[in-house]
Chains A and B, each alone.
Chain A
Amino acid sequence: MAIATAPGRTFDEPVTDHVSRIRALWTVIKRKPLGMVSAGLIIILVLTAIFANVLAPYDPLAAQPEIRLAPPSWAHPFGTDDIGRDVLSRVIYGSRISLWVGLLAVGIGTCVGMIVGLVSGYWEGRLDLMLQRVMDALMTIPGLILALAIVSVLRPSTTNAMLAIAMVIIPGNSRVVRGAVLSAKQNRFVEAAQAIGCRDYRIIASHILPNVTAPILILASIWLGNAILIEASLSFLGVGTQPPTPSWGLMLSSTGRAFMEQAPWLAFFPGLAISLAVFGFNLFGDTLRDAWDPKLRRQG
């Protein structure tokens, strides 16, 4: 996907002041109800993950086969699964796995992508050409296939699924960062700083990075949702997280589908959790974009 860089030179120095950025975000959130919803969802997710051991009424791994496939009840609000484990507890702990998978995959993918993009965009030249070709090459392999291949190499496990997803994220991220860096370099301030003889790292830190963080965070937010979905697909193909891990993707794709008709709650609740989490992250990404994208901020 080619991204054209903004033509011409501008004096529109993007917002570099962190405080005003957060304030911009807060304004948008307050004004747009969807923004509040998304922020709320994310906060709930994070809190659930952190306080899972307090919130979960049962041990998510404690099997009680005698009460397997029990429908939702007061004792087990989300019912029990195929070996009698409490689904509510598993969904709660699942938030940890999903957040963990998401954060690690997106974290690694974003950081590496950012570094590659920065190096590529700032210094350009032959290094840029080479790096971008490698990134392009990675992007020609469809994401799920690449992830599947990497997990097959590394052997199926939660960690390896994360690494595979990170690899899928890196090329796209690096391109966006590169684009943002190139655009930032157009800025007169950068030209001036270079003319003065400022060190590269200072220029990067003060002028380039702030310009880059916005698109990165927006992308990261959306990729957090995608990472959860890819992990679920890998589990469907049989190479994702391993039992008995209470990952939403595994719950949905294995027991959820297997017992879909007899015990629909096995799929409904993890599915709902995935949907809400992805929904929240995507919407939040939208909100961030609404708040920080300079082009959209010019609201009439």
Chain B
Amino acid sequence: MPTRDPRPLPSRSRATRREFLKRAGWTTAALTPLLAGSSPRRAFAQTASPYPDWMPPSPNPPKRGKLLTRASAWDPPVLDPRLTNSVGLSQFATLTSNRLVRYPYSDEAANTTDLTLKGDLAESWQGSPDFRVWTFKLRKGVKWHNVAPLNGRELVAADVKYCYEQYAKEGVQSFTFQEIEGIETPDKYTVRIHLKTPNTMFPQNLAEPVSIIFAREVLEEDGDLKKRLIGTGPYMIKENTRKVRVVLVRNPDYFDQGRPYIDEYHILSTPDAATRLAAFRSGQSDIHFVASLSDAANLKKTTPAAVIQEYKTVQTVFGLALAQDKPPFIDVRVRRAISMAIDRQRQVDTIYGGHGILGWGIPYFYFQDKMPTAAQLGPYWQYKPAEAKKLLTEAGHPNGFETTLFYYEYFPEMSSQVQVVQQDLKKNLNIEIKISKLDYTTFYGRYADGKWDGMAWGFKTGYATGLDEQTYQYMHSKSTKNYWRFADPVIDELVTKLRRTPDRAEQRALTKKVFEREHDQVTRMWMPYDSGFLVWQPFLRNTGSLALRRNDGYGASTLARLWIDK
């Protein structure tokens, strides 16, 4: 059971050096002066990890064939894309199906945050000057999978129209598609969409991984989309055995000639984390994910051949959600006090080994080039326990209060964070938190239901890539995806204006205003986060994982460009 490695780890990062010190068995006494003196609130720069965040595409010509397998944590809850946003479905639905537009694949992207819209089923598109009418020209000769009842017929505009109308009717996508007033199909290859209000970013919404184009015949024949998933994508479902595996086979008629490269992709249902790791080590799984730098270092030690890629962190998905539509959290002073009483820098330094980020909501590259520094996160973000106490007393709670917090442990570091926050709030504000650690379904149901009291370790959905999704869809007071339950008229105005602003520079300025307002009003209290690391078997090529689109999950469509060099 080798755990303490006598060889010093490469000291390229503060984090690994600290790991080494700990492993050398230094006592707390020795460590304390080292640490106590080392954290004045320095300007934030995320500790560099020894692993690259970008895998450039391979210069060699791709080899075809072979089998890709992955032990997956997620089972698809249902096959019906109208009923779920779950990554359990997207992990393969983005391979069986296409969208009208998409984001770059790993061998086309300029860098990890390249979000240039590219055509998927659409060849080109155009917005009207008032951004209320969007016209898409479809590719010709795109064929549905050659299985009954589609039998390889050509995709036409009417198919797209049907899909979007169905999405608008019911289900989880409906909020996005309900802004469509009407859809015209003047000819077989043209789709013209009329919106109720202007939206310059409408095409980005169509590029989200959940907006896949499904088959009308399947819905009409089966009455629902729960039994069959047929699309136009690079892979077809050969087998889908619940809780066992999903088998995808190459679609020989795929419109992107010559691709995909890999013949078969098997997704094996493996709910237990230790088992997934064991599967990777024994070669049964080709792709693995770890949440922290120390996990990655550990894996590298025991499996030196593994290729580790840092998954670029540009946003936080999780934070402290408060029932802020009612007291006590409806009072902005209470929220600000709580925010100032939590030492987030310490969470980054300790729990995430210096590698995590401080936490902000909207992906930073939508409003600035570099990651926000602690100072940029506003006065109420800073750790100022004395001021926090004063503010809370002002708000009428000099002796604190009691509340509850429920969460689901998405990864072990989250539990650590929750408990540290519990301690911070007790120590600084005398707020007593009773923690409830729930299973996934109970947690998700209760959180999304929006009727809970107290606090939750909440999230915004993990798939959102586009700016409109990240702002309007999540932050507008009337949106059904506003899980944080805040209603701020300033933000409402800003995000609506954002949709009508075509100019890039102006968009950035507006987005920055939204970001600042959010931190000023503490509408969403983002907590430190680490996007983690992807681990690949050494024979995989074109594995570059792009921000907001992880290859094993929502970004699976890029696996069509992956190949195996064996």
Contacts and interface: CB of A to CB of B under 8 A. Distances in A.
A–B contact (CB under 8 angstroms) = yes
Nearest to B439: A238
A68 B412 CA distance: 13
B22 A70 contact: yes
A217 interface: no
Interface residues of B, number: 39
B431 to A, nearest CB: 15
A256 to B, nearest CB: 10
A74 B25 CA distance: 10
Contact of B295 (A84, A244, A262): A262
Interface string B305-340: 000000000000000000000000000000000000
B409 interface: yes
A251 to B, nearest CB: 12
Given A155-B436, A237-B439, A238-B437, A261 B416 contact: no
B368 interface: no
B35 interface: yes
Interface string A45-78: 0000000000000000111011111110111100
B301 to A, nearest CB: 9
Contacts of A254: 409, 412, 415
Nearest to B418: A243
B29 A75 contact: yes
Interface in B1-18: 1, 3-4
Contacts of A83: 350-351, 416, 419-420
Contacts of B435: 242-244
Contacts of B415: 82, 243, 254-255
Interface string B330-366: 0000000000000000110111000000000000000
A70 B416 contact: no
Nearest to B346: A65
B238 interface: no
A254 B437 CA distance: 11
B117 interface: no
A263 interface: yes
B423 A70 contact: no
B23 interface: yes
B302 interface: yes
Contact of A243 (B1, B349, B419, B439): B419
A65 to B, nearest CB: 3
A75 to B, nearest CB: 5
Contacts of B29: 75
A117 B64 CA distance: 71
A130 interface: no
Given A238-B439, A243-B419, A65 B347 contact: yes
A69 B352 CA distance: 12
A173 B35 CA distance: 56
B445 to A, nearest CB: 13
Interface residues of A, number: 36
A282 B274 CA distance: 30
A129 interface: no
B128 interface: no
B27 interface: yes
A244 B274 contact: no
A257 B435 CA distance: 20
Interface string A236-254: 0111001110000000001
Contacts of A62: 423
Contact of A156 (B413, B418, B437): B437
A239 B436 CA distance: 9
A258 interface: yes
Q: Considering residues B1, B26, B351, B419, which has the most beta carbons from chain A within 10 angstroms of its beta carbon?
A: B419
A88 B495 CA distance: 52
Given A75-B27, A243-B415, A264-B3, A82 B351 contact: yes
A254 to B, nearest CB: 7
A260 interface: yes
Given A71-B4, A242-B437, A258-B273, A65 B27 contact: no
Contact of A261 (B3, B27, B437): B3
Given A258-B273, A261-B298, A264-B3, A66 B31 contact: yes
Nearest to A235: B437
A206 to B, nearest CB: 48
Q: Considering residues A67, A155, A264, which has the most beta carbons from chain B within 10 angstroms of its beta carbon?
A: A67
Contacts of B350: 65-66, 68, 83-84
A158 to B, nearest CB: 12
Given A75-B29, A83-B351, A264-B3, A65 B439 contact: no
Contacts of B294: 69, 262
Nearest to A255: B412
A244 B437 contact: no
A243 B347 CA distance: 18
Contacts of A67: 22, 28, 31
Nearest to A62: B423
B430 interface: no
A262 B347 contact: no
Nearest to B442: A152
Contacts of B409: 238, 254
B22 A66 contact: no
B422 interface: yes
Contacts of A70: 22, 28
Nearest to B411: A258
B490 interface: no
Q: Considering residues A67, A70, A83, which has the most beta carbons from chain B within 10 angstroms of its beta carbon?
A: A83
Contacts of B26: 73
A243 B23 contact: no
A237 B415 CA distance: 15
Interface in B395-423: 409, 412-413, 415-416, 418-420, 422-423
B289 to A, nearest CB: 14
Given A65-B349, A239-B439, 11 more contacts: A66-B31, A67-B22, A69-B22, A71-B23, A73-B26, A82-B416, A238-B438, A242-B434, A255-B412, A261-B302, A264-B3
21 contacts: A63-B423, A65-B349, A65-B351, A66-B31, A66-B346, A67-B22, A67-B28, A68-B350, A68-B416, A69-B294, A71-B22, A73-B25, A73-B27, A82-B351, A83-B420, A155-B436, A157-B436, A242-B434, A242-B435, A242-B437, A262-B3
